[in-house]
Structure 1
Amino acid sequence: METISLPKTTSKRKIEYCRSKWKVHDFEVWSGELICKVAVLCMDGSLLVWVGGDKAALSEMALGMPQEHGSLATTLLGEESSAAGLARRLATKLQCPVYVCCGQTFDRFTAPLVEKGIAIEFKEHPECFR
């Protein structure tokens, strides 16, 4: 069998490495016991909020888009639940697209506690949400 030699190609392009412009902020929501963990990924022009437990899971995902009068939200993955409402309210508050990903489901008692925990964290660390 004959071997074929390929010509070497080199690039003269200058590659510059820079730090990521994404900011990551994580915290926990407690009410006597751990309710959930939250990770906020602040990207250029949008925000991703992951809410879940100890396991990395994704059961639902929603997108909130700010409008001139309020915001709209749609469920991208899973059933219609609290993720869409949270995405809509965050998009209204921050005036940017907001993705909300949930790794666990919350009932009518824990869902308001999660939203309150996120609101408190937003008040204490607004730079992590912009």
Structure 2
Amino acid sequence: MLQRNSPRKVTSRRQISYRPTSWKVHQFEVWSGELLCRAAVLRADRSLFVWLGSGSGEPELGDMCMGVPAPGWLRAGAGRGGLGTALVGAEGAEGAATALARRLAAALQRPVYICSSCTFDRFTIPLVERGLILEIKSRPECF
């Protein structure tokens, strides 16, 4: 006669401890005579997510780019501070948001994701970048 063993109920005796989230959210606007864009920054332990959207209408997700700091061996040889690529959207590898993500990643030494729902041209992207740099310098704990 076969003897079947009934499954034993095993419960965990581990203590679960909750801790506050390490995510920090910071919102601001970039102005240059008129509203250029709104920005929301989500800071995690080892990365940064920056959303840039237009001042009018509903917030939406658009093109997404990623920038990472270049490894030491690449930085020394080519003189580049970071690498960037487009993840989602029609923007090419050397678009304005990709270049911004690459430069921010090199400056902050962490991966940076840029999600942009507005289009920037060669005149507005330096103003937006300058606004981001000013905000980073004035509120470094948020970045």
- TM-score, with length taken from structure 2: 0.77
1:55 alignment partner in structure 2: 58
Say whether residues 1:94 and 2:87 are aligned partners.
no
Range with bigger deviation, 26-35 or 54-63: 54-63
CA drift of 1:13 comes to 5.7
| Structure 1 residue 55, shift from structure 2 partner | 2.1
Task: Select between 53-62 and 37-46 the one with higher mean Cα deviation.
Answer: 53-62
Aligned-residue identity in percent: 56
Shift of 1:32: 1.2
Cα deviation, 1:24-70, whole Å, max 9, x if unaligned, reads 11100011111100111110111111111242212211110111211
Query: Do structure 1's residue 110 and structure 2's residue 111 form an aligned pair?
Result: no
- AA in 1 matched with 2:66: L
> 3-state SS of the aligned residue for 2:110?
coil
Determine the C-alpha separation between the residues in 2 that align with 1:55 and 1:105. 15
Unaligned ranges ≥5, structure 1: 1-9
Any idea what SS the aligned residue of 1:85 has?
helix
Tell me how far 1:12 sits from its aligned partner: 6.3
- Superposition map of 1:1-130 within 5 A: 14-53=15-54, 54-67=57-70, 68=72, 69=75, 70-78=81-89, 79-80=91-92, 81-129=95-143
**Paired residues, what number?**
122
Give the RMSD, CA atoms, in angstroms. 1.8
SS at match of 2:137: helix
Q: CA deviation at 1:88?
A: 0.3
Residues 77-119 of structure 1, C-alpha deviations (whole Å, 9 max, x = no match): 1112211000000010011111111011112221111101001
Flag the structure with larger Rg. 2
Q: Please list every run of 5 or more consecutive structure 2 residues that lacks an aligned counterpart in the other structure.
A: 1-10, 76-80
Q: Is the 8 A contact 1:63 1:87 kept in 2?
A: yes
Going by fraction, where is strand more abundant, 1 or 2?
Answer: 1
Q: Secondary structure at the match of 2:30?
A: strand
| Structure 1 position 14, deviation (Å) | 4.3
